[in-house]
Amino acid sequence: MRTPTDATPIATPPDTVAPRSLSDLFLTFTILALQGFGGVLAVAQRELVDRRNWLTREQFVEAYSLAQLLPGPNVVNLSLMLGDKFFGWRGAIAALAGMLLAPLLIVLSLAASYNQLAEYPAVAGALRGMGAVAAGLMVAMACKLVMTLRTNPMGPLLCALIGGLSLVLVAVLRLPLHWVIPAVGVAGWCLARLCIARAERAE
C-alpha cells in the first residue's frame, strides 16, 4: 500500500511534477471545473497535462480510458483516480470535492432562480434552445465515439449489432437499464473474448 501522506508515492517521470498539497489539488480541480462549460474533459487535459505537468499525455489517455469504462461520470472518476495516485484516498476526496463543490452551488442557485425566471417567456425559450443544443451535443458525441469502434477487435458488424440492439432496447422499447446492461454487456464480453482469442490464434 502506498502511504497517503507522501507527496509523490508513485514513480513520476522526470518531466512531470506532483501537486504541492491537498489544497493545491482541490484548487486546481475547482479551477478546471469552473472553466468546463459543456464538458470538462478538454479543460482537464489542458490544465493537468499542458499547464501543470502533473501527467504525461500518455498517462492522461490511459487514466481516461479506465475512467470511461467504470460506472460513474468519466471526469469524476478521472479526478478520483488522479487524486488517489498523488495523495491516496485523501487526495481522491480533495480532487472530487474540487471538481463538484463549486459547480454544484452554481447549478443549484440557477435551478432555484429558474422557477421565478421561468415566468418570462424569453427565459423559458432560452432554456428550450439550450435543451435542443444539449440533445445535439449528445448525439454528436455519440457520432464521434462511433469512430473509435473502427479499431475494435469485434469488427464493424458485431459492433453495430450490439450498439443498435442497446439503442432499440433502451430508447424504443424503454426497457430498464438494469436488464439491458447486464444482458447486452455479458453477451458483448463473451463475444469480445472469442474475437480476441481468434485474432491471437491467427497471428
**Stretch 40-59 residues interacting with other proteins (CB under 8 A):** 40, 42
Q: For other proteins, how many residues bind (rule: CB under 8 A)? A: 99
Residue 61 interacts with other proteins (CB under 8 A): yes or no: no
Residue 103 interacts with other proteins (CB under 8 A): yes or no: yes
Residue 146 interacts with other proteins (CB under 8 A): yes or no: yes
> 17 with 53: CB under 8 angstroms?
yes
Specify the stretch interacting with other proteins by CB under 8 A; choose among 11-19, 20-28, 47-55, 64-72.
64-72
Residue 201 interacts with other proteins (CB under 8 A): yes or no: no
**Stretch 3-32 residues interacting with other proteins (CB under 8 A):** none
Residue nearer to other proteins on the CB measure, 5 or 148: 148
Residue 55 in grid coordinates: 501527467
Under DSSP, is residue 133 helix (H, G, I), strand (E, B) or coil? helix
The least CB distance from residue 151 to other proteins, in Å, is 10
Interaxial angle between packed helices 74-117 and 22-35, expressed in degrees from 0 to 180 and rounded to the nearest 10: 50
How far, in Å, CA of 154 to CA of 184, rounded?
Answer: 14
Backbone phi, psi, residue 58, to 5°:
-65, -45
How far, in Å, CA of 45 to CA of 166, rounded?
Answer: 30
Among 75, 94, 95, 97, binds other proteins (CB under 8 A): 75
